[in-house]
Structures are given as C-alpha cells and as structure tokens.
A and B are shown apart, each in its own frame.
Chain A
Amino acid sequence: MKTIKQLLRNPLSLTGFVLLLFFAGVAIAAPWLAPPARAWEPYRIIQCGFSPTPAPPGDPNPFRAIAKVVTGQATLCQVHPFGTTGEGQYDIYYGVVWGTRTAFQVGLIITGACVLIGVVVGSIAAYFGRWVGEIVMRITDVFMAFPFLVAAMTIAAVLQPKIGRGLVTAMIALIVFGWMTYSRLIRGDILAVKERDYVQAARAAGAGHLRIILRHILPNAIFPTLVLASMDIGSYVISFAALSFLGLGAEIGYADWGQMLSFARNWIARLNEYWWIIFYPGMAILLFVLAWNLVGDALRDVLDPRLRGRITV
C-alpha cells in the first residue's frame, strides 16, 4: 500500500501509469473504437480503395472523426480519422488502435518468456555446483557475444522461409537473444541466498532440489529480476517494431506499429505532405514505450534501490 502511494506521488510515474491505463483501455475497447470489417481476422488492417497516394485524415479534428466512427454515423473508410498509408490504402487509425493489442501481447510475451528462460538457466547455474555453473555461464557468454538486434535479425531471416513472416517468427528471434541478462542477475542473487541458514535448514530437513529452489530460494531472489524485466518491456516493444520496420516481423497489413511505419519509407521526400503516416504510429509507439519506462523506473526506485543507476539495453 505504501509502495503504491509512493508511486502515485511522483509526477513522472503517475504520468506513466495514466498512459498505461489509457493504452490498456484502448486495447480492451478496440472492437468498439475501430469495428473490424471481418470479425474473424481483426488484426488485418481495413483497406480503403486503390489510390496509390496516402489519403489525408477525413476531418481536421481527429476526435470528431473518431466520434463519428464510434457512434456509427460514418464508416472508417469514409472518414479515416488518421489518414491512410498509400499503397494498400491501410487505414492508420484502425492499425494504431489494434496495434495497441499487438504491442501489449508482444511486450508481455517476449518479456515473460525471457524471464522464464533466464530464471531456469540462472537457477541451474547457481544451484548445481561450480562445474555446471561454469559451463552454463560460458554458454550464456556465447549468446551475449552477439549484438542483440543483428542476432535477432539473423534468426528471423532463417525462420521466415520455414514458418513464414509473422509475429511468432520475430518473437522467437527476440526471445532467443533476450534472456541472458536475467539469468546473470538471478544467478548472482541465488548465490547470495543459497547459503542462508533457512536454505540449509530446508536441506537438512530433507527437501528436494526442486522444492528448495521453488519454495525457499526463488521467492527471496526473484524480485530484482522482475523489476529489471518491467524496465525492459518498452525496449522489447521497440526491438520488435524495429524487426517489423525492416520487414522481418509482422506481415504487411497486420496491425503493428512498426510495420505501419515502414510505409513511410516510400514517401521520405514528401513526408511534409503525408505527415500522418509517421505521426500517429510514431506517437503511439513513443508514448507506449515511455509509459513502460516511467513505470519501470519508478518501480525500481521504490522496490529495489540497489538497481538504481543500473543500465540495461
């Protein structure tokens, strides 16, 4: 309770929470805010017509246009509140709204999977003696010898012809190279906890390895890792959108902010006319990541001052 009060008193973290709540609201309300044309594939962005050039927002006031869509006075293709992308004529408002769901999914799934792998690997390395630990950590070193995005790009390029272009491919690519920081952090914390008296007591009482790790060690060692993970969600969203932007993530026309931004690459000489192609998806991703970073920073300061000043990439 005290923690929450502390978090809400800080204007920066309050901003972060409000932004996150807003995005969560948009994600939940997506079917009402932007009614899908085909209910069975809502993540396919609605396409309006065949014109080769981006269509401008249908109303100078985007809120009025959105209100018209929500109340059913006009269809998305009549007003397109945020304009369209050019070739494909994808409606940007639709993509931004449903892209919020994609961003939450991507950020939480990647972070969750990375933490899980990191905790398993780190626990094995820390708990089972010097030799196992040494070998596991050297393998971790090999993973860390790759520049993150370059490595993810390589994996995505190999997986694409095998399982196709899409969310799963890019998420696997990012998870394969995302877990190492957690395994290192938790290993250090477990090594510290491992020799405590209550762990020795549990061992003397005849508890098994799994029980000792799960019941006695992890609950006392996992906190810093979770705080670190909350700070990383934003950067995973950025990395995923980067893969999409390069053409290695979500397929064309999927409601994903990075994929939508890649349309802007065709119009770089005329971005002053077609500003909406980058403005809306760009703002969405910036604010989303900023929200997570603000909340993550605040959580760290309150819950684990030890990590203060620690930098993660």
Chain B
Amino acid sequence: MSPELSVVLAAVSVPFAAALAIPMLHRVLGERTGYAGAVVALACFALLGSQYGADGAVELSWIPSLEIALRFYVDGWALLFAMLASGIGVLVFTYSPSYMHGEDGLPRYYAALLAFMGSIIGVALAADLIAIFLFWELTSLCSFVLIGFHTDDRSSQYAARMAMFVTVGGGLFMLVGLLILASVAGDVLGTAAVVDLGGSATTFDLAAILENPDAVREALREEGLFLPVLGLIAIGAATKSAQVPMHFWLPNAMAAPTPVSAFLHSATMVKVGVYLLGRLRPLLVSHEWTLLFATLGLATMTVCAILAVASTDIKELLAYSTASHLGLMVAGFGFATFVGAEAGAFHLLNHALFKASLFLVAGIVAHEAGTHRISDLGGLRHDLPVTAAVAGVATLSMAGIPPFNGFYSKELLFEAAVESVHELGTLGWLYVAVAVFGSIFTVLYSLRFLALFVGDRPTGLGDVHRPPVTLLAPPALLAGLALVVGIYPDVAVRAIVQSAVDATAVESHAMHVGLPTSYSPALGMSAIAIGVGGLSYPFYGRIHDGIRSIPAAIPPVSANWWYDAVVGGLTRTSAWLAPRVHNGLLRTYATWTLAGTCALALAGFAATRALTLGELGIDASPAIALVLLVAVVAAIAVVLSPSHIAGILTLSILGFMIAIFYILASAPDLALTQLVVETLVLLIFLFVIEEIPESDEISLGRVTRDALLSLAVGATAFVTVVVTTDARPDGLTETARHYVENAVPEGGGTNIVNVILVDFRGFDTMGELVVVAIAAISVLTLLVMRGRGEAE
C-alpha cells in the first residue's frame, strides 16, 4: 500500500496550524488549552495510524528549479517514530494543564510544544535532505524556546543557549554532510531526479538515494568523500542525541518544565539523531561505520551511566540515563549485523515508553513533594502508591531486568556485541566488556531511583499530596504499555518493530524476541550486569562520592568545563574585538568593510584561478578614452579641491563626462537620465553648501594610510573589471536576447530599455519610484520638521 499525500501532509501541518491558533484558543480555554493540544496530537496519531502498513514516497513540488520538493517517505521506521511522537504528545498535553497550573506564558508553551510535534513528525516522514535539515533545526528551535521557558531565570537562559548552540551547531555540520551526499548522489543517479546546477548534478531525494545505496556508497568512496560525509553526519547526530563528548547539554536542558523533559529530552527530540542513523544505516553501513558508532555509542552508554550514578537530582539522574540509553541505541545501529538494527529500533520504542513514564513520575514527585533532590526523598510508596507501582515497572525496565521490556532490547545489544567478536576480534571483546560494565551502572542508578519509593521517609520530607488523575494517567498508561511489551514482546515486534527494523537493516530477517530458554553469552552478560549491580548497591554512597570527587579535582575531565571555556573565551574575544572594529568613527567602519571586501574578492579570484589572463584588449575608442580621461582628471580635482564649491563643480564635470560616455557607448537613455540627475545634484549641493562653512583639517600621516587603502580598493576594482570582462560571453545573453525579441510583440515599444523598465520589470520600477519618494519624504522631514519635532 502506498501512502496518501494528503494524509501525510495533514499529519505534518496540523500541529503547526494549531500552534498558530493557540493564542486565540488560550483566550477561550485558559489553562485547559492543553486538552486542545491533546486532541490535535490524537488527530495526528490517528492520521499516522491510517497510514499503518504503507510503504513508499509521495511528493509535493516546492522549489522545482532546484529539484527541492516536500517529499515524504512512509515506512515502518518513519511510522514508529512519528507515532511515538504524536502518541506521547497526547499524554504530555493531557499531563501539562495540571502540572503547569498557575504558570505564566502558557500560550508560548503550548504553541512551542505543538510546533515541536509538527517538526518531529516532519523529520520522521521527510524524504528530502533539505526538508530533513529544516525540520531538524526547527526541533532545536522549539527546544530552545521550551528550555528557556522561565525567561527570567539565568540558569534556564544558560541551558537554553547551550542546547541551541550545541544542537544547531551540530546540525550545520550535518547540513554540509548532506550537501556533499546530495552532490555525489546526483552524479550517480543520473538524470531522473537530477537538475543541472551550475555544471554539477545534485539530488536531494533521499528515497531515490536509499533505493541505490551500494552505487552511492561506491561513488562516495571513489571521490574520497565517504569519511567526510560519515563524520559530518555523525557530528550532527551525536550533538542532537547527546553522545559523548557532546552529552553535557542534555542534563542542563532539564531546566525545562518536566513535561517538556519527558517529551523532548527523553522520548523524541534527542532520538532524532538515532532516527537519522537508522535511516541512513543501509546507505553508509561499513567497517568505518561500525568502528565509529559502536565505539561512540558504548562510550556514551558507559560514561553517562557513571555520571547518572553521580547525580544528586532526580531529573539529572534521568537525563544522564537518557543519554546513556541513547548511546545504547547508537551502538546497536553501529553494529553492522541484523541484530544490531533490532537492538536500535526496539530500544527506541522501549526507551520511549519507560523513560517518558519515569520523567512524568519525576514530575509528580517534584510537584507533590516539592523537591527533586534525591537525598531529600524516600519512602514515597506510602504517599504515592500508584505512582510507586508505575515507577517500579518503568525502573525495572530501565535496568533491563527480565521480563520487563528493556531487558529484550538490551539482550539484543549484547548479542550484537558478541557477534561483532567474529569480525573485530579483540576490539569486539572490548565492546562486550564495555557494554557489561556500562550496564552495571545502569542497574545501580535504577535501583537508586527505585529507592525513592521504598525504605523510610526522610524526616525533612513534608506533606506529600496525592496527584490528580490527569497527572497520574499518562505515566500509568506508558508503564502499562511497557509492561505489555515486556510480557508479549512478539506482539510489539509484529505490530511495528519488524517493519522498522527492515527499513534500517541491510538484509531482512524475521525477528524473534522472547524470554531466553537456554544459556547464551548475551544472557550471561545480563546476569553479570544485574548481579554485580545488585551486589554493589550497598556501596552506592561511596561510589557516588568517588565519582563526584573526580571532576571536582580535575575540572578539564568534564565536558561542561570545556563548553564554558570555549564559549567564555569567544565571548571575551568578541568583547575585546568589537570596540576596535565598531568604535563609532565612520572611517574605522569604512576601513574594515572595504579592506575585508577587497581581501575576500581577491582571495576568491585566487582560489578559483580566475587571474590567468587571456588577451588584453583596448576596447575603448579614442573618443571614449578621452572622455573618461577627463572624468578621472575631474575626480582627482575633486580630491584636491581646496574648497567645497570647487569640489562640487569638479564633481559635476565628472558626472557630465560620464553622461557623454553613455552617449558614446550607445546608451542614450542613460545619458538623458544622467544629465537630469547631475543637474539636480549640482543644484542641491549648491543649496546646501551655502549654509555650511569650510572645515580645514587632514594631517599627513592619515593621508598615507588612506592612500594605501584607496590604492588597494582601486586595484581590486581594476582586477575585478578585467577578470569579469575577460570571461564575458560574446554577444547578448539569453535574457537580453529574450527582451530584444519580445519588446515589440509583447511590450509594444521599440525602445527596449524603456520597455524593460516600464513593462517587463514594471514592478521593479515601481519599487524604485517608492525609494525615490521615500528619499524625498526623508529630505523634507530632515529639513522642515526640525523646528517642530524637537522644540516640544
């Protein structure tokens, strides 16, 4: 079954339309706007659900001349991600009104949340490289607005800027990678989906690229661009998905309200990087791919699990845990085997279910107990029994304890690591060891989170209220789903995971998961992780303190320190540089601008080797040469003129000489205009100059420096004219010829220049007239309004 364009378009655009309508809705509904958002999310979910089982691409032409179209591609992987986003969206919108009760700025909050949901559905379904990039950056933008929701809080501003800086910056790297990919793929895929863009072919059609992954990969290798593309896309994905060493923004992003953390920073936005890796996996999978992403993912999984153990705040713990699980998915996709894809895709689903649930639980705890410091909390099962049950299911799933759903996908990762030993040897064993080591810490922090609900209540903990049902139902539903997936994993696999895995894997197999019935290495690894984790839990306090003491002793091991150093350094450099470039003196501005422009232009000519000259022609007749010589002499006289009046008169000589030049160069219209304009300028100058006294100045040192800069500018202009006229095609350009041939039949006039101005480009001329009118009004205002405006 092929997808319906109208349904897909509606699923992407409805959230954006709703985001625009939010301010009005908020006037009517007040705090209940969240429920309207839930309805929108539900509608998207239903629209996407109607495409269940579809596979294929649809497109809506956008910029046809560049072959950029709004292409959408629907398959299991896209649907899994998009339906997760909209489904969790429903729950988050249901949860928000109670949680955000009494907060200011709710329209902004809901509008950003809806726009975010639209962008994430867009990323999931887009099959055009440019569209993917746009939606990708839109999610970063929404995340910025939501993290900085408390606009008057400095730490919230800091976190929002950091998230923006890291994720958008990474997105720009990815853009370069995608552009290289587009240009190489355009050469390979021939003329079908290709446009001629300045001599080289490009295609942004991801669906077409993914149909010929081998050919594109070979072409990338031949041109030596495989590693650059891989690296650039990896930077984009790693920054977005908080991989080491770019993981530090995610814990800071917890400054956002908790529903936002549950939605953006655990279930959806941070998974965009993982999603893209899954999408491009069939295209780029290779030895280097495995080395890069298996290493990156396992390093992230372990480092962030360790940092989670060192956390003091429940949201910080969950944030590091999220980064760690993202590492697990990246590592899964990193392994080239089918099991690797199974691990990545299945864990994407499992993690979204249990982690969104845990964040919503954390929100309940913070909301009802009034604190989210781990050390202040404990024994909450007496006060929040239902919440405790929900947290229990989700936490055990996070720890990877059978038979909860996290166990299956973690087993798949272990299996993939074990299989990699055949291919990679020692390195494969290292992967196995690191995966187990990281999992021990996962078990540790999961137990710590569970301990918030069991044990004794700390004495400092005040009254804890029961949460309303709208706070409780969303996490309960998610945990229920996690439980169902845990008990009947095959149902989930058949429903959607199998098709998602097929889309991300190179070959296709039937996928089976279930509780193990016999011993396997992966099972042994799970047993070690759970066993060692459980046994070392009594020493949690010492492990926690030990890890915390390291960055305190050596600051440079923490990525945040590097961020602060780099951004702080840049800020200080800018603060130092700005007053030197922008010192309020016109000449400084002019110097920097002109010198910069000249340097760029000359560097451009040098880089493109445009400076090799053909023949030097004398294409000016003696008459033209003479007239222009007089013009230059007049300009020299302007420079040397001792008084204003002499300068104005010589400037006029220059203008009239240019007019004569226009006559000689067969441009009578220009000559007429120039004559009129010169006359007017002369008059205006004379009027103004009468009122202004002479000012005498100019010291000698400055003259030398200015002369040098002037010479540089003149030389650049000279070179530019020589280079461009040298490259000029013979005869008229196509556009000019078009005007010449159509002047009479379409414009009805024989003066082609006039026909162009008043007919073909009539609107441009109207704009020009507006400019002149604005100048005239400004002149009048400046001259006449002085007395009136400022006397009051």
- Whether both chains belong to one complex is answered with no
